[in-house]
Amino acid sequence: MSTIVSVDTQDVRFPTSLHLDGSDAMNPDPDYSAAYVTVRTDSTDGLEGHAFVFTIGRGNDVQVAAIDALRGHFVGADVETLLSDMGGVHRALIRDSQLRWLGPEKGVMHMAIGAVVNALWDLRAKRAGQPLWQHLAGLSPEEIVSLVDFRYLTDALTPGEALQILRRAEPGRAERIADLTAVGYPAYTTSPGWLGYSDEKLDRLCRAAVADGFPLIKLKVGADVDDDVRRLRIARDAVGPDFPLAIDANQRWDVADAIRWVNTLAEFQLAWIEEPTSPDDILGHAAIAAAVAPVRVATGEHAQNRIIFKQLLQADGMQVMQIDASRVGGINENIANLLLAAKFDAPVCPHAGGVGLCEAVQHLSMFDYVAVSGTMDGRMIEYVDHLHEHFVTPTRVVGGRYQAPVAPGAGTEMWPASLDVYTWRGAHPSVTV
């Protein structure tokens, strides 16, 4: 028997805007940040749960306040009771009748719930002595189904259908675990394509990405169409005619703009157009997808919950699903998203980058491969080579592939020294020095 003794938060911000890393058409000056949470218990094992919500600077304090508002649900609670009923914990938070008004199931409050849920998963995986992906992949189909809140999903996916999907993937789990451990999971890179980079840097980084073994490169677009044509030409020349190039507009366009702009870029034979318009616009995505085919529409990093993903799939507005580790209500809701993707046969290519998103989301893709979709075909995880050094168990990407984590936990624990140096005190350390 052990008890949760504290749920502590920290407002952590990195001064990334000083270098234009991460700049795109909608986010010219992000300061990659984490509203970070640590769950501590009185157990003699000394294990802690760590997780965060990723933000891009201002407002990270609001996100921290939202996590703080959940503290009362946990401090003093029995650890074993909570960790043995993660479906119940998730549902109780999502359905808190007063907090629900602040969303429902979206924005700051929903992401806060996700962070706390994820911290408990980190703790649970550490107590089991397993990396999270493997811990989840060891659950029975019935246990996995019990983690999901099917409210508002049953017109597209019932618990019975979810069980069928999971049972279909049960044979071969051991082989796929061995496979993952041997060869890892495909990564793609966005590092060459930020808008703030020079043409020379774009060319150089594209060539380096191909040499490094990445199977796809993504470029930010949407600020100026002539610039986009020039930069795509540089990238296409650098990588050759058949190498997959994708583009990302970061919600810059209205529907008609998106269709016109993407079709203007048809010569570059793009693998996908990502976030062409508002992430809330199901019907807009469907209209765009129909008009720019065979270019596929990818979205999801700002999809607020499983209900949006459900509709994007129902309306054929999204051909590539890009889940994000810290946008929705935690690992439980992302399991719902993976099951929806499997039902609709859509490849999941998670959003990552930022702070710790690579570390977190790789576990979901690997769990998907072992226990849900059972395939890596057409799947890959975004990779950006920023800020990994602040994590206790950083991602390892070798030859364009994420290596399967072996350390216990969810990968979301930061070094105490990093937390200390980058805790926000009203100015960036590099500015105050």
Residues that bind its own copies (CB under 8 A): 26-31, 55-59, 61-63, 65-66, 69, 96-112, 151-155, 251, 254-256, 277-284, 287, 302, 304-305, 307-308, 310-311, 314-315
Q: Residue 49 has what DSSP assignment?
A: E
Output the smallest distance, CB 75 to its own copies, in A.
Answer: 15
CA-based nearest residue to 392, from 38, 83, 107: 38
Tell me the backbone φ, ψ of residue 3, rounded to 5 degrees: -125, 145
C-beta closer to its own copies: residue 145 or 187: 145
C-beta closer to its own copies: residue 66 or 247: 66
CA distance 209 to 201: 12
Selecting among 50, 110, 126, 220, the annotated active-site residue is 220
Burial of 408-425, coded b for 16+ CB within 10 Å and e otherwise, reads bbbbbbbeeebbeebebe
Whether 351 is catalytic is yes
Instruction: Specify the amino acid at residue 264.
Output: T
CA 159 to chain centre: 24
Q: Are 230 and 199 in contact (CB under 8 A)?
A: yes
Whether 73 is catalytic is no
C-beta closer to its own copies: residue 174 or 256: 256
Selecting among 218, 351, 386, 390, the annotated active-site residue is 351
Output the smallest distance, CB 382 to its own copies, in A.
Answer: 16
CA-based nearest residue to 52, from 62, 41, 73, 38: 38
C-beta closer to its own copies: residue 250 or 373: 250
Q: Which residues pair with residue 401 across a beta bridge?
A: 186, 398
The pair of structure tokens assigned to 217 is: 């490169």
C-beta closer to its own copies: residue 287 or 298: 287
Would you say the C-alpha torsion 394, 357, 389, 243 has a positive or negative sign?
Answer: positive
Output the smallest distance, CB 112 to its own copies, in A.
Answer: 8
The pair of structure tokens assigned to 409 is: 């936990």
CA-based nearest residue to 221, from 213, 230, 212: 230
Output the smallest distance, CB 69 to its own copies, in A.
Answer: 5
C-beta closer to its own copies: residue 155 or 242: 155
Q: Are 383 and 354 in contact (CB under 8 A)?
A: no
Q: Are 52 and 413 in contact (CB under 8 A)?
A: no
Output the smallest distance, CB 281 to its own copies, in A.
Answer: 5
CA 164 to chain centre: 26
Output the smallest distance, CB 168 to its own copies, in A.
Answer: 24
The residues annotated as belonging to the active site are 220, 351
